[in-house]
Amino acid sequence: MTDKFWYKVARTIVKAGVFPFPVSEALIELLQNLISEDQAKFLLIFKKPSLTLEQIKERTEMDEDSILKILDILMYNGIIIGAKSRSMGVMVYRLMGPFPGIFEYTNLRGETDEKHIKLAKLFEKLFSERTKLNQANYETMINTFKNLPPTDRTLPVEKEVEVGTETVMPFEDIKKYVEEYDDIAVAHCYCRHHKDLVNDPCKLGAPKNNCFLFDKSAQFAIEKEFGHRVSREEAIKIFREAEDYGLVHKVFHVHSDPNRGIEAICNCCKCCCGIIGMYRGGIMPLHTISSYIAEVNEESCVGCGTCVQMCPMETIELDDTIAVINEEKCIGCGVCAHHCPEEAIHLRRTGPREVFIPPAIIKSN
């Protein structure tokens, strides 16, 4: 197939995603290592990201068995996800974008063969290209992201919430979230696994088997072997372990709408998390919803610096041996409070608020 053909395929996949990516040689090489030419040709029918089986039939001359076979392969490889629509009662097949999407599903199984090492290096190149693109168009990039919904919701470490506030908004409680779902799957943290593949392992030594999928996303992950089913009790145990390592609970809602159900909950470290990493790398702002903010009890604070070290947003400094929090950058995750040896930090409920932090402007050498 010609370069023009693969450009069209790459363009189709980029358009299906949430965030813009340059259609580059790295992206095309990545796709050529993930899908065959026949599969790539099939993907060109996705002029819009989501199609039903009947809509796919209208766009191809393939018979139904052949369509279902190629869909099954693409779903197993994480290029397309399929789920039954509750409103329509039929299967809907959605084409994934590069990130979020294909990146996650490529790493969810924790595979370490030569192919996945190569894919990890190509993703690194792709992210580097995106840094250059977004830095060169910084103001446009900021305005674009301001018009997009927050990427996720940050949940606090439950026991660090100020007394009484946890009952004001029950959905902020991680346990109540877990108890809402019968189908829960756990998989490898795709971000920490990716960093392992490029020889840049987690600085916290955090466990990797703690990426959660819920409801239809969990059903899909279990069926296609991206993760395995866990009980609610097992899930809570894994969440507690994540808190002890200083990881942040990041919740992803269906269509980024906090009023809809949950697709996934990640347990993120600042050294590996793709979203935090893209913020630090100048690729995109950090845009999240939080209902809490950290506060320091100056009388109890001894200036030990534990919170400074643990804060994933690096938003705490010591001023005359007292911890001072930059509230504009605080995402209310509670990591500082959970790890404060003097119990000098707590979380105050603010009500849902959007935290939007522009990335740094990176000066070229």
Residue closest to 353 by CA, chosen among 324, 328, 335: 328
Q: For 283-322, write each residue's pLDDT tens digit.
A: 999 999 998 999 999 999 999 999 999 999 999 999 989 9
Residue 260 confidence (pLDDT)? 80
Res 365 pLDDT > 70: no
Residue with the bigger pLDDT between 153 and 190: it is 190
Q: How confident is the model at residue 121 (pLDDT cuts 50, 70, 90)?
A: very high
Q: For 317-338, write each residue's pLDDT tens digit.
A: 999 899 999 999 999 999 999 9
Res 99 pLDDT > 50: yes
Pair of tokens at residue 55: 């809509």
Looking at the chain, the whole-number percentage of residues with pLDDT higher than 90 is 74
Residue 159 confidence (pLDDT)? 54
Residue 158 confidence (pLDDT)? 59
Query: Residues 323, 308: contact at Cβ < 8 Å?
Result: yes
Q: For 46-78, write each residue's pLDDT tens digit.
A: 999 999 999 999 999 999 999 999 999 999 999
Q: What contacts 49, CB < 8 A, 6 or more positions away?
A: 15, 16, 94, 95
CA distance 41 to 96: 15
Q: How confident is the model at residue 169 (pLDDT cuts 50, 70, 90)?
A: very low
3-state helix, strand, coil in the chain (%, to 5): 40, 20, 40
Report CA Rg, the chain: 21
Ramachandran area for residue 23 (φ above 0: left; ψ -120 to 50: alpha; else beta)? beta
Q: How confident is the model at residue 188 (pLDDT cuts 50, 70, 90)?
A: very high
Segments of 195-344 assigned E as strands: 211-214, 228-229, 248-253, 262-268, 286-296, 316-319, 322-325
When pLDDT is averaged across residues 125-138 and rounded to a whole number, the result is: 91
Residue 68 confidence (pLDDT)? 97
Q: How confident is the model at residue 168 (pLDDT cuts 50, 70, 90)?
A: very low
Query: Residues 19, 274: contact at Cβ < 8 Å?
Result: no
Res 185 pLDDT > 50: yes
Residue with the bigger pLDDT between 267 and 169: it is 267
Beta bridge partners of 324: 317
CA distance 46 to 43: 6
Residue with the bigger pLDDT between 44 and 89: it is 44
The residue assigned the tokens 């910084």 is 138
Residue 164 confidence (pLDDT)? 38
Q: Which of 99-108, 149-158, 258-267, 344-353 has the lowest mean pLDDT?
A: 149-158
Res 163 pLDDT > 80: no
Q: How many CB atoms lie within 10 A of CB 92?
A: 18
CA distance 237 to 317: 32
When pLDDT is averaged across residues 66-91 and rounded to a whole number, the result is: 93
Of the chain, the end-to-end C-alpha distance in Å amounts to 38
Res 170 pLDDT > 60: no
CA distance 150 to 71: 30
Domains of the chain: 3-136 (1.10.10.10), 140-357 (3.30.70.20)
pTM recorded for the entire structure:
0.90
Q: For 21-53, write each residue's pLDDT tens digit.
A: 889 999 999 999 999 999 999 999 999 999 999
Residue 47 confidence (pLDDT)? 94
Q: Are β-strands 152-155 and 286-296 bridged in parallel, bridged antiparallel, or unpaired?
A: parallel
Q: For 209-224, write each residue's pLDDT tens digit.
A: 999 999 999 999 999 9
Residue 44 confidence (pLDDT)? 97
Q: Mean pLDDT, the chain, as a whole number?
A: 90
